[in-house]
Structure 1
Amino acid sequence: MKTFDHLTVIGLREWVALPDLGVAGLRAKIDTGASTSSLHATEIEPFERDGQRWVRFNAHLGSVVQLRHRHCEAPLVAMKTIKSSNGQAQIRYVIRTRLALGDRVWDVEFTLACRKAMRYRLLLGSKALVDGQLVVNPGLKYVQDKPASPASPFPSTGVA
């Protein structure tokens, strides 16, 4: 049997942080069947800053029981057509930001999408797993420690 010493094992669910967006304590669903990662976002608005395309949005965190959101801004990487698991195509904004999982931090591209009907606000796809040199043990959950809480210029807002 082959083993890979340079890869980190994670479970089907893990705690993550998005330090550049000031987001910590976010539960992520690991989805090897999805190529692209996705973040639950609403009120998505493109704008221009210093001649560059940016997007502002509310990132929705927490759970159905404990709702919270954070106003975020990030450079816009692209617009991408994504086909969902039910076969519907959707055009989404794409951002690139740092993701912290356990003791690893690396850049990940996220599509911004409404995931309010989904249990997890962040989906981590296969491209992020490859870039982070991660392997998934489907029999495990929350293998890695929670990343440290980041500081952010954006205020966190509770939702009633």
Structure 2
Amino acid sequence: MKPVKTLTMVGWRELVDLPELGIRGLPAKIDTGARTSSLHAEVLETFERDGERYVRFAIEHGDHVRQVCEAVHVDVRGITSSNGETQDRYVIKTPLRIGDTEFRAEISLADRGSMKFPMLVGRSSLRRHFAVDSGHSWLQSPRPTARTKTRS
């Protein structure tokens, strides 16, 4: 019989870190209905460096701090949003940390300005790392302060 791996429990919302992008304590919705994770970002430009394709993008976090980030983009994919529309989005691969667990995740860059959470963590990021307790929040993070609160 194959040994069962113990998964870390997360709530339906958690604070996450994107260490390579310099982002800490970003409010995220944990969404098993979404395949791909997504991050609210404004794509500024694409460029090439040392033969690799990069995307430069801006995000807002904390007290509406605008931060410009760069990441290797691994793909441009047609991703279907919750309203059923398919959009071409840049997809980056970067470390994602929830609680004490850190791993590389594929994250699409999307306009989530009308959404309550600037980040959504989808099931491909959750797989093999986490189980979700949809009745609880902040199981792997401290309760957000006014500075990190989600948008109303």
TM-score norm. by structure 1 comes to 0.83
Residue pairs, 1:4-153, within 5 angstroms: 6-62=6-62, 66-131=63-128, 133-145=129-141
Q: What percentage of aligned pairs have identical amino acids?
A: 47
How much does 1:5 deviate?
A: 5.5
Q: C-alpha separation between the residues in 2 aligned to 1:87 and 1:136?
A: 24
Q: Which amino acid aligns with 1:121?
A: P
Which consecutive segments of 4 or more residues in structure 1 shift more than 4 A? none
TM-score norm. by structure 2 comes to 0.87
Would you say how many aligned residue pairs link Structure 1 and Structure 2? 139
Q: C-alpha separation between the residues in 2 aligned to 1:36 and 1:43?
A: 18
Q: Which runs of 5 or more structure 1 residues have no equivalent in the other structure?
A: 147-160
Q: C-alpha separation between the residues in 2 aligned to 1:34 and 1:69?
A: 26
Q: Which runs of 5 or more structure 2 residues have no equivalent in the other structure?
A: 143-152
Q: C-alpha separation between the residues in 2 aligned to 1:5 and 1:90?
A: 36
SS in 2 for 1:128: helix
SS in 2 for 1:119: coil
Q: C-alpha separation between the residues in 2 aligned to 1:39 and 1:145?
A: 18
Offset from partner CA, 1:1-42 (integer Å, 9 cap, x none): xxx651000000001100000000101100000000000001
